[in-house]
Amino acid sequence: MAGSEAAGGGGGGGGGDKLILRGLQFHGFHGVKQEEQTLGQKFVVDVDAWMDLAAAGESDSIADTVSYTDIYRIAKDVLEGPPHNLLESVAHSIAKSTLLKFPQISAIRVKVGKPHVAVQGVLDYLGVEIMRYRKA
């Protein structure tokens, strides 16, 4: 793979090639408050998945990459699935499932935000961002 590294490939978290999913919106029932788990609320998710995209760039074939829609479905299944108390747990579940399903992904960053929270003040959202790396 030295050739793809020299061509700008690679797959380390924080540098190199990555798949990007931004602004995914779902209605879910996560939170520690009873009303959050009863009424639900909107969640916004961003995902970066680091992997070597050189082969896909050369071949122009979906077989040489991971489909964005597959990662989207993982996020959707977690957000619209059974409730978690903490956003940390929601983000971790997305990252863990993605790394398990796609061995070619070397690292993943997941950001989960709640735009509508009971906080006095003006804000876009409150949330968490996690980074997970494939274990060697």
Q: Is 18 a catalytic residue?
A: no
Q: CB count, 10 Å around CB of 115?
A: 14
What does the alpha-carbon distance between residue 118 and residue 95 come to, in Å, rounded to a whole number? 27
Residues 6 or more apart whose CB falls under 8 angstroms from that of 126 comprise 113, 114, 117, 119
Catalytic residue among 33, 76, 114, 135: 114
Give per-residue burial for 72-100: e unless 16+ CB within 10 Å, then b.
eebbbebbeeeebeebeebbbbbbebbbe
Task: Please list the active-site residues.
Answer: 114
